[in-house]
Structure formats: C-alpha cells, structure tokens
C-alpha cells in the first residue's frame, strides 16, 4: 500500500471566503471536506469539485481545487463527463437537497446504478434556501414554508433508501453538528471505490426554523457506537427509514462492486486525457480548417 502524505487544511483554502449566512451548516461541510481531502493526501490539482445551483453549490469557489459551478440539477452529469475524461482525478460533487433530489434526481439515480467512482455530498437542509424558503423534496409533511403556508402535503423523499435500492455502493449520513464524524465519513467516501453518497444534515439557520441544530442534536445517534454492520442491504434499508425520535448517523450501507470504469474497454488503457488521440498533424489541420 502506498504511503499517504497528509496535507494541512490550509492547502485547500480557496481564494474567496465563504459568504453563507452566519451559522449555516455548509461551513462545517466545507471544513470537513478540506480536512478529509488532506487526510487522503489528495493534492489540490488532483481534486475536482462539481456543483449545481443553490447556496451549497457555491462551495467549489471556496476550496482550492479544480471546480465547476454547473447548471441547476446538472452537477451529476457534468461530473460524470469530467470524471470519465480524467479518471485519475478525485471527483467530488457538492450540492443541496433541492438541486440533487429535485430537478437532478434522475441523474442521481442513473449515476448510482452505474456505480461511478465519484463522491456525492448533499447538504440537506429540508428547504430551498437560495430562493428564500420554499419546500424542497426532503421537507417533512406538515412543515409550513413560503410555498406551503398551510403545511407541506407531500411525503418527503428518502435519499438513503433511494441510494441503497438504486445501486450506490457507499451510503452514509452526516451532520454539520458532528464535524469529527462528518470528516471521517468524507474520508471513507473518497477512499471507497464506487459511487459514494453522503446525505448531510446542514441546517439552514435563516429559513428552516424546524430542523435546527438543537432539533437534530436531540435525535441523532451514531451507528458506530452500536457496532453497526453496513454490509446487509435489507437491514440497511430498514435503518434508512428511521426518522423521528431517533435518526442514525454514519455509514448505513457499504459493499464492494464492480464500477462502471472497470467495465469500460476504452478506460483500460488509462485516463482518456492521457491517451494519444491517434490523429496526425495534417489530419488535425484539415479538421480545424473545415471547422473554421
């Protein structure tokens, strides 16, 4: 096994300071990601962070790495293309529950069933924060928001159950209020070979007055304190439905499965960007001239 040379947190400090609301859970997610990348020994130039649209999707601008701030709900396909072009880079997707579980949910499902070797960190605050407080796909039933003044009538989406059944090979839940555990989960996710999803409770202190830090603190518990075995998909699926007085944090499900990259013949010769294109100078000039 190769020796991992850890990097300090400062190695990933971006050129722009975060401008989230004071107390936002996304600060904890950013710091945990920077710390986890350092623990994994990932050089900033070997890290790609891709996001969609939303408060949390501003994260690529706050970390020293390659970054893409893409379209609403399209972070997963953009990250897929970038990752398959250069599989030598560590690809991390960051976004919110609205971006990932709303408009982007179709891409989310297909990336999981392919078991792409990427890490997806969803800052789940059960609300649309950037657009000032509408109900999101994970808003609990009965929650009164700007778009549901009489209470949300919809059943919230269960991202962990969806991930387990769709084929993700690493499924976890973290909480900004438990930074040490969250950093460990991110480190495990980035070291895992396959699609890794971490749903992170990241409280919106401005627009969600229900799912607050104290609300979660009273309810969450750590699976590692109970010697949880994440290898059984059916037991993991049952655990994913725990909600209310007790909500689990940690790795719910983990398995070793063949990845999409392992089965793609073109990638057997290495990253696409490092393969010769097989076109001589004359042919390339002819192509460019025709395009111009």
**Torsion from C-alpha of 123, 100, 125, 197, nearest 10 degrees:** -40
Neighbours of 56 (CB within 10 A): 31
pLDDT band (50, 70, 90) for residue 292: confident
- Cα–Cα distance for residue pair 89/44, rounded to 1 Å: 10
* Cβ neighbours of residue 83 closer than 8 Å, sequence gap 6 or more: 48, 89, 91, 116, 117, 118
Q: Is the dihedral of CA 51, 54, 59, 61 positive or negative?
A: positive
* C-alpha distance from residue 45 to each of 49, 65, 160 (Å): 11, 6, 31
The mean pLDDT value for 66-90 works out to: 97
* Mean pLDDT, residues 92-99: 97
Q: If you average pLDDT over residues 227-256, what whole number do you get? A: 97
pLDDT tens digit sequence for 183-214: 999 999 999 999 999 999 999 999 999 999 99
Answer whether 118's CB lies under 8 Å from 48's CB: no
Query: For position 67, what pLDDT does the model report?
Result: 97
What's residue 68's pLDDT?
Answer: 97
Least confident residue range of 3-12, 77-86, 231-240: 3-12
pLDDT digits (tens, 9 = 90+) for 18-37: 999 999 999 999 999 999 99
For the chain, which residues make up each domain, given as ranges? 9-291
Q: Identify the CA nearest to 243 among candidates 218, 211, 219.
A: 219
pLDDT band for position 281 (cuts 50, 70, 90): confident
Give the pLDDT mean for 243-268.
96
Write out pLDDT tens, residues 113-142.
999 999 999 999 999 999 999 999 999 999
What mean pLDDT value characterizes the chain?
96
Residue 1 has pLDDT above 80, yes or no: no
Contacts of 99 (CB under 8 A, 6+ apart): 51, 52, 53, 54, 56, 57, 72, 73, 75
Average pLDDT over residues 241-255: 97
The second-level CATH assignment, the architecture, of 9-291 is: 3-Layer(aba) Sandwich (3.40)
pLDDT at 239 over 60: yes
Q: Provide mean pLDDT across the span 202-227.
A: 97
Instruction: State the pTM of this model.
Output: 0.94
According to the model, what pLDDT value does residue 275 have? 87
Distance CA 196, CA 48 (A): 15
């Amino acid at each position: 096994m190769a020796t991992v040379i850890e990097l300090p947190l400062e190695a990933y400090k971006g050129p722009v300071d975060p401008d989230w609301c004071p107390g936002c859970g996304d600060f904890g997610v950013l710091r945990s990601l920077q710390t986890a990348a350092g623990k994994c020994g990932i050089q900033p130039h070997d890290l790609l962070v891709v996001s969609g649209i939303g408060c949390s999707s501003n994260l690529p601008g706050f970390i020293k790495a390659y970054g893409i701030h893409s379209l609403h709900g399209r972070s997963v396909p953009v990250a897929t293309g970038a990752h398959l072009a250069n599989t030598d880079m560590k690809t991390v997707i960051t976004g919110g529950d609205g971006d990932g579980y709303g408009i982007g949910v179709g891409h989310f499902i297909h990336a999981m069933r392919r078991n792409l070797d990427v890490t997806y960190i969803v800052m789940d605050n059960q609300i649309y924060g950037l657009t000032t407080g509408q109900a999101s796909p994970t808003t609990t039933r009965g929650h009164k928001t700007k778009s549901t003044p009489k209470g949300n009538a919809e059943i919230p989406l269960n991202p962990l159950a969806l991930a387990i059944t769709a084929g993700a090979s690493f499924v976890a839940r973290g909480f900004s209020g438990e930074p040490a555990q969250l950093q460990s989960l991110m480190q495990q996710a980035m070291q895992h070979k396959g699609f890794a999803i971490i749903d992170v409770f990241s409280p919106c202190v401005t627009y969600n007055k229900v799912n607050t830090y104290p609300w979660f603190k009273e309810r969450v518990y750590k699976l590692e304190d109970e010697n949880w075995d994440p290898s059984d998909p059916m037991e993991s699926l049952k655990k994913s439905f725990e909600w209310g007085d007790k909500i689990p944090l940690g790795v719910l499900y983990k398995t070793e499965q063949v990845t999409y990259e392992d089965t793609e013949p073109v990638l057997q010769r290495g990253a696409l960007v490092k393969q010769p294109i097989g076109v001589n100078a004359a042919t390339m000039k002819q192509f460019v001239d025709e395009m111009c």
